[in-house]
Structure 1
Amino acid sequence: MVKAVVLGAAGGIGQPLALLLKANPLVTELGLFDIVNTPGVAADLAHISTPAKVEGYLPADDGLKKALAGADIVVIPAGVPRKPGMTRDDLFKINAGIVKDLATGIATTAPKAFVLVISNPVNSTVPIVAEVFKKHGVYDPKRLFGVTTLDVVRASTFVAEILGNLSLSKDIIVPVVGGHSGVTIVPLLSKSTHPLPASLSTTDYEALIKRIQFGGDEVVAAKNGAGSATLSMAYAGAEFASKVIRAVNGEKGISAPSFVPLAADPAGGAVLTEELGQELEFFSSTVELGAEGVVKINPLGSLTDAEKALVKAAIPELATNIQKGSNYVIDIYKKEEDGPARL
């Protein structure tokens, strides 16, 4: 018995994500929440002949609380999509408040749920959720995940294209570490299950790295201002959610890259910190999943010189992104504690 909840279920990511979760035989109940159209989305999905019972809620009449009641896993794709010319900072200013409010709802209604954050920029929104949970005294770093699976999916697909065989894309696994935006995305191509051709030039290698890091821009440009990566993100989100659900149900040996708090595995986090040469509260690395969430954070291990350079370039921006998310919530709570200024 698994209740999955999608917050932002009527959006471009939320609808296909909800569809994929409805099709997942391990999901027995599906709660949907958004500010518009959710009952209609729920009614549409409810006609699909799979076991999951579907209910959709709007903000009125404690809709968020009703959607979250009894949740085992909560996926958050809520927020505005990135448009042409929009920076990650622009995106942050809009989505930060949305994620904070939803995190507050989870903290007060379903504090034991596994929380999977898709809302961009993930490098900052995951720290927002963490600070909200800390404020409410319900923070469990083992149960908080930033979904970086799309970077892995893209890397696998693009490597398959280079190998000239797209049928391999489902079998190719390329670990992607760091974060989930631009240069913080670090594909470890040397650890791909299907090595790149030895004849691949340095220019083509660098182009592949850039395409994995900035694949989202490719989609935004192709959609000509009409949206961002929604369908591929929904697929990636459902894939990661499925892995979490399988692990929670007792399946062993499930691992996947995810942007997680290093406190989720203090021993593994310490090794990773030593490899990085700098303390970071969050980092995307391959994690082993279990019934309690994160069981183990795996180290980076041996890297090529090119990969070491990519990791080094990612760290400063990643640290800034993380701090921005944490400070956003800390500042809000501080203002609330200080109260209105007195004359």
Structure 2
Amino acid sequence: MVKVVVCGAAGGIGQPLSLLLKQSSLISHLALYDIVNAAGVASDLSHINTASKVTGHVGKDSLAEALTGAHTVVIPAGVPRKPGMTRDDLFKVNASIVRDLAQACAQYCPTAFILVISNPVNSTVPIVCEVLKKAKVFDPRRVFGVTTLDVVRSSTFVHQIKPQFEPHSNRITVVGGHSGATIVPVLSQVKQVRFSDEEIKTLTHRIQYGGDEVVKAKDGAGSATLSMAYAGARFTNSLLEASVGGKRGLVESTYVHLIGNPGAEWNVQATGGLQYFAQDVELGPQGVAQVKALPDLSVEEKKLVEIAIGELKGNIAKGVSFITEGGATPAAKL
């Protein structure tokens, strides 16, 4: 049985994400957890004519039941970004939510794959890893920051100015992190089309700050939920195809803990000793099969990576210190 748990399943990302995952033939049990409304979402989705069972779990008292036996846990839980709100602002609220869910995973499904969507990913992934380290169940191959939306946006935005570029089948590598200047699309390695210097500059900025377009357009009603749900489902399905379906050669860009992951040694040196970095990763039965080496970068992209590294150092330190300097609470309080 392949049990996939969505934590935050009744939210703006969680509902469409759960709908998309219900369509996967690789999932036999879809468990939906939230502090409210998860039972209703589960009942609704259970009427869809695919084979997976759907269960709803509401409130902290049901978290153990939701997580026990999980193969994969996807975490979109948290508050959305509002106009004028940075991802750093989100940290104050979402850090505690992610910490508590990570502690529950350590207790009830310590070998599950954990896919973190909750922003700010640059900091919430280190929170999850530090919690698992404290519980002595950390495996760097099994924790992922879902940065797939940056990849999806890259292909979409390129197609909009270069219609001959097919956006669904052509993937663009994005490295760094998952916020603003930490997002570095490697446009120099796109072989299907050519860009002018001005086009690269414009595309890079739009990919880095594409989320702001949605926040502004929703006028206070939320952030990128539907596109994020699509991106989250895409990454989850890729991981399941590799870990359950046995498909080889699947590569996705994702934010991972470099130290201890196969192939990551070179990347640690290239990023100035960073513990976390988004890069192309080949997926396999145990999660990370290999972290690919950084692609050849243009002079401008190298400058952008240096900027990203500088910001990531602070983002990572914030997540780590949240746990190591008193952010953690006993799992028994869940």
Q: In structure 1, list runs of 5 or more residues that go unmatched.
A: 337-343
1:160 CA displacement? 0.8
Distance 2:209 2:42 in 1: 33
Within the candidate set 208, 216, 220, 1:213 is matched to 208
Q: How does 1:86-97 map to 2 (within 5 A)?
A: 86-97=85-96
Compared with structure 1, are the counterparts of its residues 315 and 43 closer, same or farther at alpha carbon in structure 2 (3 Å cutoff)? Answer: same
Partner in structure 2 of residue 245 of structure 1: 240
Do structure 1's residue 7 and structure 2's residue 2 form an aligned pair?
A: no
Q: Does 1:77 align with 2:76?
A: yes
Give the deviation of 1:204 after TM superposition: 2.6
C-alpha displacement at 1:290, in angstroms? 0.6
Structure 2 length-normalised TM: 0.96
Q: Give me the whole-angstrom Cα distance separating, in 2, the residues matched to 1:295 and 1:236.
A: 21
Identity of aligned residues (%): 55
Whole-Å Cα distance in 1 between the matches of residues 103 and 161 of structure 2?
Answer: 44
> For residue 341 of structure 1, what is the aligned residue in structure 2?
none
**Superposition deviation, residue 152 in structure 1:** 0.2
SS in 2 for 1:263: coil
**After the TM superposition, which of the residue ranges 188-197 and 321-330 deviates more from structure 2?**
188-197
Cα offsets for 1:6-62 (capped at 9, x unmatched)? 0000000000000000011111100010011000000000000001100011115x3
- 1:168-188 per-position Cα deviation (integer Å, ceiling 9, x unaligned): 110221100000000000000
**What residue in structure 2 maps to residue 183 of structure 1?**
181
Aligned counterpart, 1:32: 32
* Aligned mates of 2:164, 2:41 — CA distance in 1: 37
Instruction: Indicate the larger mover: 292-301 or 213-222.
Output: 292-301
* TM-score when normalising by structure 1: 0.93
The one-letter code of the counterpart of 1:231 is L
Pairwise CA distance, 1:70 = 0.8
| Equivalent residues in 2 for 1:216-235, closer than 5 Å | 216-235=211-230
Contact kept? 1:39, 1:57, Cα under 8 Å: yes
Q: What's the C-alpha RMSD, in Å, of the aligned pairs?
A: 1.4
Equivalent of 2:280 in 286, 292, 306: 286
Unaligned runs of 5+ in 2: none
Aligned AA (2:297): L
Q: Is this contact kept in 1: 2:242–2:285, CA < 8 A?
A: yes
Q: In structure 2, give the amino acid aligned to 1:260.
A: V
Q: Work out the CA distance in 2 between the residues paired with 1:4 and 1:261.
A: 22
What does residue 340 of structure 1 align with? none
The aligned length equals 329
Secondary structure at the aligned position of 2:80 is classed as: coil
CA distance in 2, matches of 1:18, 1:184: 28
**1:261 lines up with 2:260 in the alignment:** no
Partners of 2:124 and 2:319 within 8 A in 1: yes
1:333, distance to aligned residue in structure 2 (A)? 6.0
Summarize the Cα distance change of 1:109–1:334 in structure 2 as closer, same or farther, 3 Å threshold. Answer: closer
